[in-house]
A and B are shown apart, each in its own frame.
Chain A
Amino acid sequence: MKATKSMQAQGNRLANTMIQLNVLNGKDMVDAKFPLFTDKLKEINLFPLKPSGIEIFQINMGKMCNQVCAHCHVDAGPDRKEIMTKQTLERCLEILKNTDIKTVDLTGGAPEMNPHFFWFVEELSKLGKHIIDRCNLTIIVANKKYHRLPDFFKEHGVEVVSSLPYFSEKRTDSQRGEGVFEQSIRALKMLNEVGYGIEGTEQKLNLVYNPSGAFLPGDQSSLEAEFKRQLKRKFDIQFNNLYAITNIPISRFLDYLLESGNYEAYMEKLVTAYNPMAARNVMCRNTISISWDGYLYDCDFNQMLDLKVSERSSLHINDFDIDKLNNRSIVLNQHCYGCTAGAGSSCGGEVTG
């Protein structure tokens, strides 16, 4: 039976981020210890890891979501009430006005469920920012008020990045919940209808593939070719690029790994597949992640582990200091192996090649 509640609502002890960090370091629930990620970076003179400069402002607009995905690193769901306020969003706009950060990446939960979402995107659009919306697709068909999203995205030049773990119902629904595949296909058709994902248009629709289980993603370009072939053949659906993303061993995916007895083997896979080239290109070097309550993190994963930026004088958007943040040391832990395995992984897919 698939969970319909967040780990937090279930009272799962892994909802406590300290316990997750202890597991990753072999101090709770498991004995397995792996080489320290920081040592791997020391070997290539990359420690302490420094930013290359903030280019992406990734805002987690809230943990509320209409789905309860089995691998969700946010532990998002309908029962999560943490939502970014208008005041915090206004502060984000102020920062974006006064810096030359070009890309704003909206995530959640389902970012569209934030009551200020439409207003916020309009404001970002006025600033001329490149807007990315991490849309779970089903939100578009979930409620009448969201049916206008495809047109709205188009009007404001929003790039849509959507998860579709597989081109079959069985594997998609096993990860994202019953009925998700069918709804996702309907939403993709609506996006295609207004030009999203269609060759020659400016409306970019990129899909995210992440494995439905304890294995790593294969070669991104091969997967993209297979997804394109199958989605076109089966449903006449088109998209631009496929981002292959590795599941990071935190939150619900960590819970799954432990429950299924796959934790050790999965960590070993990540550690064995460690790629120094990927380590040089990790996304935390050009990204800053903002939580629903305005705190700053090196990435969305650190945010979910409650590992705030190391720059103590700029912990919150109210104290946002881009110069200091650009000189911070990035906070690392054992989950970081997830971004450096094989061809690497980021919110934009592989980081090498």
Chain B
Amino acid sequence: MSYFKPEDLKKFGDIGKFGAKDLADKFFAYYGEVFKEGALTQREKSLIALAVAHTVQCPYCIDAYTQDCLQKGSDEDQMMEAVHVAAAIKSGATLVNSVQMINKADELMM
């Protein structure tokens, strides 16, 4: 059984009703500001969000930003390249730690 129910995404905006409404309000106001057109376009921000959604492995975010990227006019190559950027950073982050392994091994080995 999966905990993920796509229809739950619609309830996200209501988390403040459960408690800590002021914090929820501040979060959503901040969230809204972040995604406005700025030095980056809304389309670019949406592609970044899509990539990040993959690294944090949030199925709600992946659903939401796949749709958002399509709405904002990104094409399949741009969306896939964004996910590859996320994958490259994630695998790079794993591999770069091998330097620590190598350092430690050098320290321990004859």
Contact = CB atoms under 8 A, between A and B. Distances in A.
Interface of A: 166-168, 170-171, 209, 211, 213, 215-219, 222-223, 225-227
A222 B37 contact: yes
Nearest to B6: A265
Contacts of B71: 211, 215-218
A222 B43 contact: yes
A171 B43 contact: no
25 contacts: A166-B75, A167-B75, A171-B75, A171-B76, A211-B70, A213-B70, A215-B70, A215-B71, A216-B71, A217-B71, A218-B43, A218-B71, A218-B72, A218-B73, A219-B42, A222-B37, A222-B41, A222-B43, A222-B72, A223-B72, A223-B73, A225-B41, A226-B43, A226-B73, A227-B73
B98 interface: no
B67 interface: yes
B82 to A, nearest CB: 15
Contacts of B73: 209, 218, 222-223, 226-227
4 nearest CB pairs, A to B: A218-B72, A218-B71, A223-B73, A226-B73
Size category of the binding interface on chain B: 10 to 19
Task: Determine chain B's interface SS by DSSP, over half rule.
Answer: helix
A209 B76 CA distance: 17
Interface in B80-106: none
A217 B70 CA distance: 8
Contacts of B75: 166-168, 171
Contact of A222 (B42, B70, B76): B42
A111 B31 CA distance: 47
